[in-house]
Structure 1
């Protein structure tokens, strides 16, 4: 017997998931389903990374503070919002859309809306820097995050006449996950805390967002949406 074959025989058995191809192989141990779920959750926690927004917040580098009012808490800016460097702060606050815990999500979501409301012509040049944070939020596999990001995307599109057409080249990245969620009747409910439309399901919200993209994206918008979401029908035909 060679040294190689001897070492192979004494190799520790591998842990493999149940009902998988690996479970039919030699020198393997099939994981119990409960243990598999535990390992999966542990892996998910390990892969979770903090956003840049959280890092800036924890360091006290964001020009915002919380105001505690009788009608509800809101954030306040410690500097004139119109004088902010949008190339720094707008992508940073968009990065915070992936956050699910207070106070990070509260500051990020309200901060994004404030920046979009006051940004005007300063928003359009920053569009390429917003694509990855939006994509990360859509890929977070979190209903609250996805619903919130869809509404923010709508606000982004209508924030300036230049934004809609500027987003068209990025549809392949932005709309990549829409097909898998478009047919799902997942109730967003009050997850969209600043929306007037309660009880809207995720499929309807995606349709609404696609319509906003088409209406404000120019003549190339529809064909590019259709390429990524084949089931979408133009809102101009209705």
Structure 2
């Protein structure tokens, strides 16, 4: 009897201890949840500056001048202008213009040579049309490098360089003995003419095409070995209706002065070309 009562007391104590442990565990879970909520609440109410310090953005590391250097330099210029130092203001304004391209572009190679007197002729403005005045008779001038320099000027788009290069190239090829002087220059002259023929400007292309015909008249079949390097650009321009007639006329003159050898080369690059002999 006493043993059964003792056993019952032990079971009762165990039940009380289990319920106490459950209450303790529940209380600890509630406290943990409260702590987490308070932590989240404090982090959400923290200032944005604190958040940025914890998780810095890549842009925070940038130098402010690298973000908008133009605006920074403009502010600097305004500050210097307020100081009233004319010399300082002038020098800074000059540097500012140089930096941001407000000055005119540097002259091209042909323009620079022409300005320095490297081209022995000058443009003479006439009431009806312009002409060139040579410093000495063109037949006395060496073609190397004058003819190549004039060919490079065919890519110019500003006056007077456009007229000087076009007319100078034409007049130089008209002098006596031009054949002997021009043929040795063909390996260097053809790439320059090709640059004009592939130019996007229509007027530059037209000047290059005329120069090619003029060269063909002078050197004749000697041009055939270099002709294939020029026909690809002519073939592409044939798709443009406004150039179909002048290119066809130029090809006929190339055939006329280049002979049968030129016809074979032209047909290989431009199969639709119709020979003048047909």
TM over 0.5: yes
Alignment of 1:73-112 (within 5 A): 73-112=130-169
Gaps of 5+ in 1: 1-9, 11-47, 187-201
Partners of 2:125 and 2:195 lie apart in 1 by 31
- Counterpart of 1:222? 263
Partners of 1:183 and 1:54 lie apart in 2 by 33
- Of the three residues 188, 205, 218, the one matched with 1:146 is 205
- Counterpart of 1:135? 194
Pick the structure with more helix per residue: 2
Gaps of 5+ in 2: 1-57, 59-104
Alignment of 1:24-103 (within 5 A): 51-103=108-160
- Counterpart of 2:34? none
- Counterpart of 2:173? 116
Report Cα offsets for 1:175-211 as digits up to 9, x if no partner. 111222113112xxxxxxxxxxxxxxx1111111111
The structure number with the bigger radius of gyration is 2
Partners of 1:183 and 1:68 lie apart in 2 by 37
- Of the three residues 224, 244, 261, the one matched with 1:168 is 224
Q: What is the CA-CA distance between 1:93 and the residue it aligns to?
A: 0.3
Partners of 2:112 and 2:125 lie apart in 1 by 23
Name the structure, 1 or 2, with higher relative contact order (CA <8 Å, separation 6+). 1
Q: Is the 8 A contact 1:51 1:95 kept in 2?
A: no
Q: What is the CA-CA distance between 1:122 and the residue it aligns to?
A: 2.0
The answer to whether structure 1 residue 183 and structure 2 residue 239 are counterparts is yes
CA RMSD of aligned residues (A): 2.1
- Of the three residues 216, 225, 229, the one matched with 1:157 is 216
- Counterpart of 1:203? 244
Partners of 2:266 and 2:106 lie apart in 1 by 31
Distance 1:219 1:72, change over 3 A: closer
